[in-house]
C-alpha cells in the first residue's frame, strides 16, 4: 500500500467532532518528523469528501492551511462541533491520539 493510501486510511479513524495533528498522523503511519509531508498530502487529497483532511491541524492548536482556505476549514470543523477561537482549537481535549 502506498504511503498516501496508508495516511488517508489512518485519517479515516479520526471521528467527526475531533481533530488530529500533522505530527501525530505522521507518527501513526511511521513517518518520523513527517508533518510537512503530511501537510503536502492533505493539500493534494484527491478524496476530500471521503477523507476528512480538514480534521488535521497544527500541533500548536492553530487550524493551519487548507486547499480551499482557512476560513472554509474553520467552518467545516465548527459544523462538526469543533470550536475554533482566533484561528486555534478552543478545546485541546478534542485532539484524537492514535
CA–CA distance, 51 with 77 (Å, rounded to integer)? 14
List, in order, residues 6 or more apart from 82 with CB less than 8 Å away.
Answer: 17, 18, 19, 89, 91, 94
Residue 97 CB: number of other CB atoms within 10 A? Answer: 9
Sign of the CA dihedral running 18, 71, 36, 40? positive
Selecting among 38, 53, 56, 63, the annotated active-site residue is 53
Residue 53 appears among annotated catalytic residues: yes
Give Cα 50 distance to the centre of its chain: 13
Q: If you search the block for the grid coordinates 502506498, which residue do you land on? A: 2
Residues marked active site are found at 53
Amino acid at each position: 500500500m502506498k504511503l498516501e493510501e496508508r495516511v488517508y486510511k489512518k485519517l479515516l479513524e479520526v471521528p467527526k467532532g475531533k481533530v488530529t495533528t500533522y505530527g501525530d498522523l505522521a507518527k501513526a503511519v511511521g513517518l518520523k518528523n513527517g508533518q510537512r509531508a503530511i501537510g503536502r498530502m492533505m493539500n493534494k487529497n484527491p478524496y476530500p469528501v471521503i477523507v476528512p483532511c480538514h480534521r488535521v491541524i497544527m500541533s500548536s492548536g492553530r487550524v493551519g492551511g487548507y486547499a480551499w482556505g482557512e476560513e472554509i476549514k474553520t467552518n467545516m470543523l465548527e459544523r462538526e462541533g469543533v470550536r475554533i477561537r482566533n484561528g486555534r482549537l478552543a478545546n485541546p481535549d478534542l485532539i484524537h491520539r492514535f
